[in-house]
Structure 1
Amino acid sequence: MSSRRSKPDPHEMKAAVDGIAKWLYDADAAATPSRNELAKAVRLTARTLEHDAPGHSVELRVPPFVAVQCIEGPRHTRGTPPNVVECSPRTWLLLATGLITWEQAEVDASGTRAHEIAQWLPILRVKPFADE
């Protein structure tokens, strides 16, 4: 039996991200999402990346919510992985939705393959919305 998780439901992921989209567009003007709302959006997008870019060469860490391994290549099993990308939940969601690019993001990336995550982004796009 495989230990691989199934791909997150894309509708559930979209709903989770849409629920905090105003905050992603403007953190100063929108209410900060609850910890549960933020965790759900982060986990679903990161686990979608894990499914879409299978492998174990790069570890994406979005503390305190999730860490996933992705990108084909050598498997890492012990200690600190050689290729790690770590960022804040908001930065991850901005990357995952295409609101910022890899070059614009403030991420801690180490290893020669860490940047390969950029090839799999965005995971989903959020649409601009009109002011209410």
Structure 2
Amino acid sequence: MARQAAVNPEELRAALAAVEAWLRNESEPAPARTVLAAAVRGSARTLAADAPGGSVEVRVPPFVAVQCIEGPRHTRGTPPNVVETDPRTWLLLATGLLEFETALASGALTASGSRAAEVARWLPISRLG
């Protein structure tokens, strides 16, 4: 995967603020797809910038997949270390409203491979105010 440019921290905060009410209360109307995409992509790309490398792939379909964490780089086929979740769960993790282990135990997140759980060390990415 191509290396992404760093995400502007102010843009990330604004993108996360736009989905905050929905993250804190699931009965709130879901954000527009473009608003949700901006928050998911910005937070995942920030993770990739904060923890550069190609050892673990983080997938948040349908919006983004990034590689992160130093170590052996994956280049073809199914990566050996994958973290995958839905957009809302990812944003809850990225903002500190949900713990990695809790999401994993509930089945809202899958983590395969010996290094996948290292993503937890880099969370949250940006706490909500």
User: Under a length normalisation based on structure 1, what TM-score does the superposition of the two structures give?
Assistant: 0.92
**Gaps in structure 1 of 5+ consecutive residues:** 128-132
Runs (4 or more) in structure 1 with deviation over 2 Å come to none
Unmatched 5+ residue regions in structure 2? none
- Alignment partner of 1:124: what SS? coil
Displacement, 1:5?
A: 2.2
Aligned alpha-carbon RMSD (Å): 0.8
Alignment partner, residue 82 of structure 1: 80
1:104 alignment partner, SS class: helix
> Which aligned pairs between 1:1-132 and structure 2 lie closer than 5 A?
4-28=3-27, 30-105=28-103, 106-127=108-129
2:62 alignment partner, SS class: coil
More helix by percentage = 2
| Number of equivalenced pairs | 124
- Give 1 or 2 for the bigger CA radius of gyration: 1
Cα separation, 2, equivalents of 1:69 and 1:77: 10
1:49 Cα deviation after fit: 0.2
Task: Tell me how far apart the structure 2 counterparts of residues 95 and 22 of structure 1 sit (CA, whole Å).
Answer: 15
Question: Aligned residues: percent identity?
Answer: 61
